A and B are shown apart, each in its own frame.
Chain A
Amino acid sequence: MKREHSISVKNLTKKFGDFTAVDAISFTVKKGEIFGFLGANGAGKTTAMKMLIGISKPTSGEAEVAGFDVYKSTEKIKKNIGYMSQKFALYDDLTVRENAQFFGGIYGLSKKVIKERTQAFISELGIDDIADHLVGSLPLGWKQKLAFSVALLHRPQIIFLDEPTGGVDPITRRQFWEMIYKQAHQGTTIFVTTHYMDEAEYCDRVSIMVAGKIEALDSPENLRKQFAVNSMNEVFLKLARG
C-alpha cells in the first residue's frame, strides 16, 4: 500500500496543567515534501514536534507518523524517523567514524552496513582526510553536515530537523539546504523548524504557529499573496504581532 501522507495530524493538543501549549492543530505532510514548521519562541512548535517524534504523549487528538499511531506505536515511529536538533549533537570526543558506528549501532544496523553507508557519505562530502579526527576539532559547519548525514544512516522515511542551521554562516546554510533538497528528491520527507525566514522560502509548504495554534499553512508563494506582502518575513511579522 502506498501512502500519500507521511504525517497526518488532527486536533493534536498538549496541555501542561491549565496551560495549553499546543491547541488542536491539524495538518498533513506529503511524502517527499519539505515542510517548514515556523513560530516564535514559545509558540509551541517544539512541544508539537516532541509529540510527533514520540518523546511526549499528546493530551488529546490524533496523529500518525510514517503510518504509525503516536499513542500506540512510538517504538515503530522511532525506527522510521531521523532527528537532528539545534545542538547538532555528535560526540565531540569521538571521531566521525566512531560517531557513525555508535548512532548506526543504536538503530540496530549491522557493522558492515554502517561501514558502507559511512564511507558513502564521507566520499560524498569529500572528507576522507578528517574522518578519523575527533569531531570536537572540526568547524561548526562541518559538524552540522555530519550530524545530518549520521541522522540519515538508518535511512528514515521522515527526518525532523529542529532549527538545524542555528549559528552557522550563510554559505554553510546554503550548502546544508542543498543536502536537504537532495534528500527530499530521494523521497525522504523533511520536517524542519527554523527561525530564518529566507529558509522558509526554500520549503514546499510552511505552517506558522502562534500561541499554540496554526494560524497559516500554505506554500510560501501563496502565503505572500494571501497577506499581500513581498516576503515571508513580513508574513511572519504580521501573524506574530497579531
Chain B
Amino acid sequence: MKRFIGFIKKEFFHIFRDKRSLFILFGMPIAQILLFGFAVTNEINNVKLAIYDQANDVESQKLIQNIASSSYFDVEKMLYNKEEVAATFKQGQVKAILIFEPDFAKKLTKEGVADIQVVTDATEPNTAMTITNYIAAIIKKYNDNFNKITTTPYQIQTNSRMLYNPELKSVFMFVPGVMTIILMLVSAMMTSISITREKEIGTMEILLVSPLKPLQVILGKVFPYIFLSIINAVVILLLGFFVFGMPMQGSLFLLGLESILFIISALALGILISTISETQQTAMMISLMGLLLPVILLSGFIFPIASMPKPLQWLSNIVPATWYIIIIKGIMLKGVGLLTLWKESLILLGMTLFFILLSVKKYKIRLE
C-alpha cells in the first residue's frame, strides 16, 4: 500500500508539472462547456425576415404583427414586387421571406383557406428548417385564435407541448454531451498517453523489473485519472447548473455511480489503446479517431440516432457513450431512476466488464 501511494504521488507530479496535460484536464472542460453553451446552438434568435404582403389587409397585418413581436424574428424589410424577392435573397440580407397571397383576409373568412408562402434560404439547411418550423408554429397559433373567434363546429386542434425541455434549450443537450466527451478524453486518452509515455522513455521496463506487480503498475497509472475525471464531472455539472440552469431532476447519487461506471469503461479502453501503441502520438491518434469521433458523431450527442441510416444505428449501439448519454439525460432531465434505466445501465456495465477483461488479457499477452 505504501508503494502504491508513492506511485500515485509520482503520477500527480507528472500531471501537475506538465502544462499541456493540465490544460487538457482543466482548461478544456470549462472552455468546451462555455463554447457549446453559448456559441454553438440550434436555437434561432432575431432572424431577419422580409415580407411581401400582396393582400395588405386586416388579417395579414395581424399575422405580421404576431411574427414581428416574437423574439425569434425581426422584420427587416417590406417588399412590393416579385422581382424584389429574388434580389433580396441574392444579397443575403434576410434568411426567409413571407409571401401573402392577394385577398388573404377575404379568402380566409369566406373560403376558410388562405395561402402563405414561406421561402427560406436553404444554403444552411438546418437553420432553414428551424425557421420554417418556428414560422409555422406562429401561424398555427394565430390560426387557432382565429378559429376560436369564428366557432366553427367539429374542429380538430392539435396541441403540442414540448416535454422535459419546453424551451428547447440546446444547452440541455450539450451539457450531457460535453460531459461524456470530457470523461472519455480524460480517462481514455490521458491514461493511454501516460502509459505509452512510460514505454517510450523506458521506465515501464524498469517498473516491470521491479517487485511491483503489473496490475499494481496499471492501477497506479489509472487511479489519478479516475480522481481527476470525477472532479471534472463535478465541475461540468456545477457549470451546467449555475451558468445554464440545467435541471437536476433525478438522483445525484445514481448519476455519480453511472458516471464512475462510464469512467471505468473509458479507462479500460485507454489501457487497451496503450497495449497496442508504442508511442504517445499513436496513442493520441487512436484515442481521437477511435474514441472521440464515435462519441461526437454516433452517440446521439449532436446527430439524433433515430435519423441515422440503419448500419450507423447499429454501430452507435456499440459505443458506450451512447448509453451513458441516454442514462444521464434520463436522470438529469426526466428524473427517472434505475427502474427505467436498468437496461441501459446493464449494457454499460457489460461493456465495461468486457473492456476490462480484454485489456487485462491484452496486457498479459504483451508481458509474455
Contact = CB atoms under 8 A, between A and B. Distances in A.
B154 interface: no
B206 A85 contact: yes
Given A57-B368, A92-B201, A108-B3, A103 B209 contact: no
B10 interface: yes
21 contacts: A55-B209, A56-B368, A57-B368, A78-B209, A79-B211, A81-B209, A84-B206, A85-B202, A86-B202, A87-B205, A88-B202, A89-B202, A89-B206, A91-B203, A93-B17, A94-B10, A103-B206, A103-B210, A105-B7, A106-B211, A108-B2
A77 to B, nearest CB: 9
A107 B206 CA distance: 11
Question: Which applies to chain B's interface (DSSP): helix, strand, loop or mixed?
Answer: helix
Contacts of B2: 105, 108
A89 B13 contact: no
B210 A107 contact: yes
A53 B210 CA distance: 9
A78 B211 contact: yes
Interface string A168-185: 000000000000000000
A15 to B, nearest CB: 12
Given A55-B367, A57-B368, A89 B203 contact: yes
Interface size range on A against B: 20 to 34
A91 B14 contact: yes
B92 interface: no
Interface residues of B, number: 23
B368 A75 contact: no
Nearest to B208: A55
B180 to A, nearest CB: 30
Contact of B211 (A84, A91, A108): A108
B311 interface: no
Contacts of B136: none
B207 interface: yes
B209 A93 contact: no
Interface string A60-102: 0000000000000001001101011111111111100010011
Given A57-B368, A93-B17, A98-B13, A106 B205 contact: no
A83 B18 CA distance: 27
Contacts of A86: 202
A160 to B, nearest CB: 8
A54 interface: yes
Interface in B184-203: 201-203
Nearest to B5: A105
A57 B9 CA distance: 32
B309 interface: no
B217 to A, nearest CB: 9
A78 B206 CA distance: 10
A172 B13 CA distance: 30
B209 A54 contact: yes
Nearest to B213: A75
B56 to A, nearest CB: 75
Contacts of B10: 91, 94, 98, 102
Contact of B6 (A53, A93, A102): A102
B212 interface: yes
A108 B9 CA distance: 15
Interface in A6-29: none
Contacts of B208: 55
Nearest to B210: A106
Contacts of B3: 105-106, 108
Interface string A36-59: 000000000000000001111100
A127 B134 CA distance: 74
Contacts of B202: 85-89
Given A56-B368, A94-B10, A89 B211 contact: no
A53 B14 contact: no
B168 to A, nearest CB: 47
B7 A106 contact: yes
A94 B205 CA distance: 18
Contacts of B367: 55
A106 B207 contact: yes
A93 B7 contact: no
Given A93-B14, A106-B6, A53 B209 contact: yes
Interface in B54-106: none
Contacts of B368: 56-57
Nearest to B209: A83
A78 B210 contact: yes
A160 B212 CA distance: 18
A58 B367 CA distance: 12
A107 B211 contact: yes
Contacts of B13: 91, 93-94, 98
Contacts of A89: 201-203, 205-206
A190 B368 CA distance: 25
A92 B368 CA distance: 28
A153 to B, nearest CB: 11
B36 to A, nearest CB: 32
Contact of A83 (B7, B14, B201, B205): B205
Interface in B154-206: 201-203, 205-206
A188 to B, nearest CB: 16
A85 B199 CA distance: 12
Contacts of A88: 202
A113 B139 CA distance: 83
A102 B203 CA distance: 12
A239 to B, nearest CB: 28
